[in-house]
Amino acid sequence: MDPASKAAIEEELRAALEASGHRFTAQRAAVYSYLRRVESHPTADEIFTNVRDDIPDISLATVYKALEAFVSAGAARKLQFGDGPARYDGRTDDHHHMRCLACGGVHDVEAEVDHRLKGGLLSRNGFEVIGYRLELLGYCPACKN
């Protein structure tokens, strides 16, 4: 990541956290920049393992608290699948996911979002739509065979 976009991402995070009453810290910035850098929708454990290389004194509890703050500030999304560990997504725009039923891997699908669903169809039936999430289930190339 080039320094300019890293600074821009940190500024975005600072604004989102402060607007929602959360503290911006260097550790949170490191957790967030990792989350924005990867497309793997990591679990808190995976994030912890990776950011620890840069910030040796960070704790798993700090990572959890940081992630909860990002979700509450609208800077990240939490993905919960059944009783598996929650995964986190640095993307907050509407998009689709594909999830491997064998390894649990979650990846983005670059497909068009159907705004008719969110905008009209369901609302007309009295359903208040607050989010859009479409999940495609299957097996990733590594697990397919």
Cβ atoms of 77 and 16 within 8 Å: the answer is no
19: Cβ contacts below 8 Å, ≥ 6 apart: 73
Tell me the closest approach of the beta carbon of residue 43 to Zn ion, in angstroms.
Answer: 14
Kindly tell me which of 71 and 140 has the beta carbon lying closer to Zn ion.
Answer: 140
Tell me the closest approach of the beta carbon of residue 96 to Zn ion, in angstroms.
Answer: 8
Tell me the closest approach of the beta carbon of residue 33 to Zn ion, in angstroms.
Answer: 17
Kindly tell me which of 10 and 89 has the beta carbon lying closer to Zn ion.
Answer: 89
Tell me the closest approach of the beta carbon of residue 97 to Zn ion, in angstroms.
Answer: 5
List of residues contacting Zn ion (CB under 5 A): 89, 91, 100, 102-103, 105, 108, 140, 143
Other Cβ atoms closer than 10 A to 89: 22
User: CA-CA distance, 8 to 15, in Å (whole number)?
Assistant: 11
Position 133, amino acid? R
**Cα 145 versus chain centre, distance:** 29
